[in-house]
Structure 1
Amino acid sequence: MCGNNMSVPLLTDAVTVPAGERETAAVIFLHGLGDSGHGWAESLSAIKLPHVKYICPHAPRIPVTLNMKMVMPAWFDLMGLSPDAPEDEAGIKKATDSIKSIIEHEVKNGIPANRIVLGGFSQGGALSLYTALTCQHKLAGVVGLSCWLPLHKTFPQAACGINKDISILQCHGEADPMIPVRFGTLTSEKLKSVVTPSKIQFKTYPGVMHSTNQEEMMAVKDFLEKVIPRV
């Protein structure tokens, strides 16, 4: 599980927001189902730290079972949105390898792995959690917004262990009709069996649906300032 399949092509298809000064850290942020990296590049630009480069990849377009097999940007197939729904294990692992190849690329270009944060919203947040826990590089942290942990039944066994002490910020809207906040709570509980419980922050936002708000984005900014401070 900890191995890395380096034959996966790089996701060169990404929006990159360069740092305003010398780049000493990077945030790789993954959008949700049917979306692209553009909106998140804009949202992250609004809370930008000057020494951080933001990379917002675009997911490939694939047929999604949940949406009557319509072809749309998706990191992996979704069969359902309940904790017991069948999961696209092969697709999740393939997507994980793509994200790991972006991490490798940044490390080769001089950004240490422990200065890289993975993050994402909804399906992208799910993928960022799974990738961080199975990654063989020690990362700075993970941000999971309105999401869940894919293949949750395989944990803690599937975890690589190197990120046992990783800092995790999980945020969820309390009025989310797509991924109910209960799934966020279950995910947070599950994560405590995989990483040091004191490293997990789970914040919920009253009235927020399947989206984010200003307060949540400020929580993300505060988290980034803590885990990838200016050198």
Structure 2
Amino acid sequence: MSKKVAILLHGVGSNGADMAPLASHWQQQVKDVLWLTPNAPFHSDMGNGYQWFSLQGITNANRPERIAAARSAFDAQLNTLFSQYDIDPRHDRVVLVGFSQGAMMSLDALVSARYPLTGVVAFSGRLASPMPYQIKQAVPVLLVHGLSDPVVPHTESASAATALTALGHKVSSQFEPGIPHTISASGVTAAASFIKHCFE
């Protein structure tokens, strides 16, 4: 029987432990899932926590190359988890759940088609991966973004929805009035339902 695996990817300056309460909450609602909350591979430039790639000198122009350069360390982190927990993404079902920079890396894994994913949840993220995008299979995607996000504009998720739909993915979006750069209670509820559906 294939495993059901959800990997939660934190934002810059955070760590896997910050995502663990979210995993514990979902564990009560979505049964028989292996919930993993790794640290990003690099210490944060901010002095606290970890990061998937550096924000020093980041611009819209150089962000895609930063993401591409982060792939090898990202893949190494996931492959360590796959080895540690005897996960084979070709046969087991893997959902990526990312917040902010973790959402960007989750969406990058999707549009680079490096893994056969079962689903992707991106909170407060953006699709900033270098083109061309690739698709090997249609994947369900949930994009959740606060309309009052001062860090990553909600228009980034709207743009991501358009691009991912054009690729052939099955995209759902939830834009939340008054919510800043965070994971809201309604976002948590929507994601739980989405993840459960992915594993059905």
- By the TM > 0.5 criterion, same fold? yes
Q: Residue in 1 aligned with 2:6? A: 27
**Separation of aligned partners in 1, 2:38 and 2:194:** 21
Q: Residue in 1 aligned with 2:120? A: 142
2:156 to 162, 171, 183: 183
- For normalisation by structure 1, the TM-score amounts to 0.74
Give the AA of the match of 1:180: P
| Alignment of 1:223 onto 2:197 | no
**Separation of aligned partners in 2, 1:28 and 1:102:** 12
| Alignment of 1:41 onto 2:29 | no
CA 182–225 in structure 1, closer or farther in 2 if over 3 Å, else same: same
The 5 A counterparts of 1:51-66 are: 51-62=32-43, 64=45
The 5 A counterparts of 1:92-103 are: 92-102=70-80
Matched residue SS, 1:57 = coil
Q: Is the 8 A contact 2:6 2:36 kept in 1?
A: yes
Post-superposition Cα deviations, 1:88-123, rounded to whole Å, max 9, x if no partner, equal 145322234225515643784467645110111000
Q: Rg bigger for which structure?
A: 1
Out of 26-35 and 130-139, give the one that drifted further: 130-139
Post-superposition Cα deviations, 1:45-91, rounded to whole Å, max 9, x if no partner, equal 11212200110100133464xx6xx5751111225676x34121453
Q: Residue in 1 aligned with 2:94? A: 116
Q: Residue in 1 aligned with 2:172? A: 201
Q: Any stretches of 5+ residues in structure 1 without a counterpart?
A: 1-21
- For normalisation by structure 2, the TM-score amounts to 0.85
Matched residue SS, 1:144 = strand
**Separation of aligned partners in 1, 2:181 and 2:19:** 15
Out of 89-98 and 34-43, give the one that drifted further: 89-98
Matched residue count: 196
Identity %: 25
Taking only aligned residues, the RMSD between alpha carbons, in angstroms, comes to 2.6
